[in-house]
A and B are shown apart, each in its own frame.
Chain A
Amino acid sequence: MYVGIDAGASATKVVIINEEETILSYTIVPSGVNFKASSENALKKVLEELKLAKKDIAYIVSTGYGRELVESNAVYSEITCISRGVHKLYPSVRTIIDIGGQDSKAIKVDENGRVLDFVMNDKCAAGTGRFLEVMASILGKPIEELSALHFKALNPVKISSTCTVFAESEVISYMSRGCKIEDVIAGLHNAIAERIFTMSSRIGFEKEIAFTGGVAKNLGFVEALSKKIGVKPLLPKEPQIMCAYGAAILAKQSFKKIKV
């Protein structure tokens, strides 16, 4: 068994795979402030579910924001991990757009899943899950409801600010003017899609294109981004664990290298 741990700033994802690189089990827990503790708990959960013990694990790779704080055999960047995970699932993928809680990335890969180029937005909340969290809380809606509301929108508003703080004022202004909440949400999704489109343009949009990351669970947003790029993306069933999955695949690779 091989384990991948993606210790993200908001959530920690643990994936365990077998020799055939099939996902046996996975879990997603909030990272909190103690990466070591949350990753250990997450790993315990996953092992308990499979009725396995730590000694059954051959190799652990950690990645993500808190990767150095987690107990593991090796550390890899999220870029490499995501590309491995997505390539395994969709070998035809050439462009991956990952939208996480704290950052967003666009990765260009070759036919072997190797990273050719990448671009990141890791400085600014706009264009990440954080942006939606802030807005959802202003609108008084749980994140999970945003997708359904998006599809109800008939007249999405235009959010012009590229800064989260300014956009907040715009949202408040629209709501106080009586705009429908679904139109505001669709407007917000379009704003993020715009940011991500601009960022990713440098990489290009070679098909097939996959969306990953926590925000890709929001199908309303997925629609906004697909429309903006003009493409039908490949969407993993569990987009949030692709990075941890890739880390687990790298764990197997690294372990094999040692054995040889």
Chain B
Amino acid sequence: MTASTAISDVCKNPIELLEKYKESGINVLGYSCSYIPEELIISGGLQPYRIPNLGSVTSPLVPTFICQFASAVLQNILRLEEFFSGFVIAHTCDPMWRLYDIVKKKARKPIFFLRVPHNVEGELSIDFFKKELLRFKRFLEENFDVEINNEALRNAIEVCNMNRNLLKEVYMRNSNGKNRVNGLYRLQLTLASMWMPKKEVNTQIKSLSLENNATRTGNVRIHINGTAIYDLNIIEIVENAGCFIASDDLCTGSRYFWDNVNDSEDLIRALANRYMQRTPCPSHEPIEKRLQFMDFMIEKFKVQGVLTIANRFCDPMLYEAVHVREMLTKKHVPVMLIDYENLGQEAGRIKARIEAFIESLSELR
């Protein structure tokens, strides 16, 4: 079951949306990650567009042991450059860090590197991040001839908070063991929120009737542990194999919308607070916050099993997977790691694995 036509169309063909923006003369700023405040981009009059790793592409500019995610995002930035007015890359993991280096040498459009402290806790990190956001604000103002004042920022924060509230509300419908809105559906709403104008996607989400959206209820309630998933196919494979994705901790899932920006005299500081205090990404510390978040999800959504989905060369996930497994083993929650580089080639293998996992879960219940 897919979301509204507008949303599902965008998810099927996100590049088409870029073409529409170009035709309408809208300035699009490509961004790499959920640490980048869309609020700042929007307050500068630009349309934020999160760059996916879709298209089964890889870049010949990086070695084969660089994860497909970074490789594909790089390839997409370079081949779709004409649709963007500029790019902002955040410092998360090593390949994404070096992606900035490479794009700087290869692309012509203005590009900004947002230095995100890897230890997100503590006043020093928040203060440093605030200064980075001020530097980002100056970059937007200088490169796109705009002035970002408090009013514009406040409006942007409001529309983003609204978007997050709507997404969270949909997500919470699965709490306490209810199978209401499946993972495929929820991912479409979240992705659309990263590509479409916020006001429009908010209107679309508000107008959805969610009462009849729980199809493919499946038997086993699963939590997806991972980073950024844009490919609906992997979600479909998981849910077709007999799972119901009740919850997740993805960068393109719950962690994207879980926390709001609070109002304040100092709005840049408020942004820094929100982005530093939300559950960190796998590339960041402290890992305890991530494990606690996952624990919360498992309890709240009555999860029966966890699938860790990672690119084969994703360092943050490969380290984390060991500790996730240890935690879940103590909780007697079955967990399985699915790693891949090319979904097209590996779909059959992944399907077989998940089916085996589901069978073993069904047996033990």
Please list the residues of chain A having a beta carbon within 8 angstroms of any beta carbon in chain B.
65, 76-80, 114-118, 120, 122-123
Contact = CB atoms under 8 A, between A and B. Distances in A.
Given A122-B349, A122-B353, A79 B359 contact: yes
B308 to A, nearest CB: 13
A77 B241 CA distance: 11
Which of A115, A116, A120 has the largest number of chain B CB atoms within 10 A?
A: A115
B359 A118 contact: no
Interface string B328-354: 000000100001000000001100110
A118 B359 CA distance: 12
A79 B360 contact: yes
A122 B336 CA distance: 14
A122 B356 CA distance: 13
A80 B360 contact: yes
Query: What is the interface of chain A mostly: helix, strand, loop, or mixed?
Result: mixed
23 contacts: A65-B352, A76-B359, A77-B355, A78-B352, A79-B356, A79-B359, A79-B360, A80-B356, A80-B359, A80-B360, A80-B363, A114-B360, A114-B363, A114-B364, A115-B359, A115-B360, A115-B363, A116-B360, A117-B334, A122-B349, A122-B352, A122-B353, A123-B339
Given A115-B359, A117-B334, A77 B364 contact: no
Contact of A77 (B334, B339, B348, B352): B352
Nearest to B312: A123
Contacts of B363: 80, 114-115
A77 B364 CA distance: 16
Which of B339, B352, B363, B364 has the largest number of chain A CB atoms within 10 A?
A: B352
Interface of B: 312, 334, 339, 348-349, 352-353, 355-356, 359-360, 363-364
A118 B349 contact: no
Given A77-B356, A79-B356, A116-B360, 14 more contacts: A65-B348, A76-B359, A77-B355, A77-B359, A79-B359, A80-B356, A80-B359, A114-B364, A115-B356, A115-B360, A116-B364, A117-B360, A122-B349, A122-B353
A160 B117 CA distance: 40
B115 to A, nearest CB: 35
Contacts of B353: 120, 122
A75 to B, nearest CB: 8
Contacts of A122: 349, 352-353
Contacts of B359: 76-77, 79-80, 115
Nearest to B355: A77
Contacts of B312: 123
A122 B347 CA distance: 12
A115 B353 CA distance: 13
A77 B361 CA distance: 13
A65 B349 CA distance: 8
Nearest to A120: B353
A78 B356 contact: yes
A118 B356 contact: yes
Contacts of B349: 122-123
Nearest to A102: B349
B339 to A, nearest CB: 8
Nearest to A64: B352
A202 to B, nearest CB: 8
A116 B359 CA distance: 10
A9 to B, nearest CB: 10
Contacts of B360: 79-80, 114-118
A60 B310 CA distance: 35
Contacts of A118: 356, 360
Contacts of A123: 312, 339, 349
Top 5 A-B pairs ranked by shortest CB distance?
Answer: A77-B356, A115-B360, A79-B356, A114-B363, A80-B359
Contacts of B356: 77-80, 115, 118
A116 B360 CA distance: 7
Contacts of B355: 77
Nearest to A114: B363
A227 B306 CA distance: 35
Nearest to A110: B364
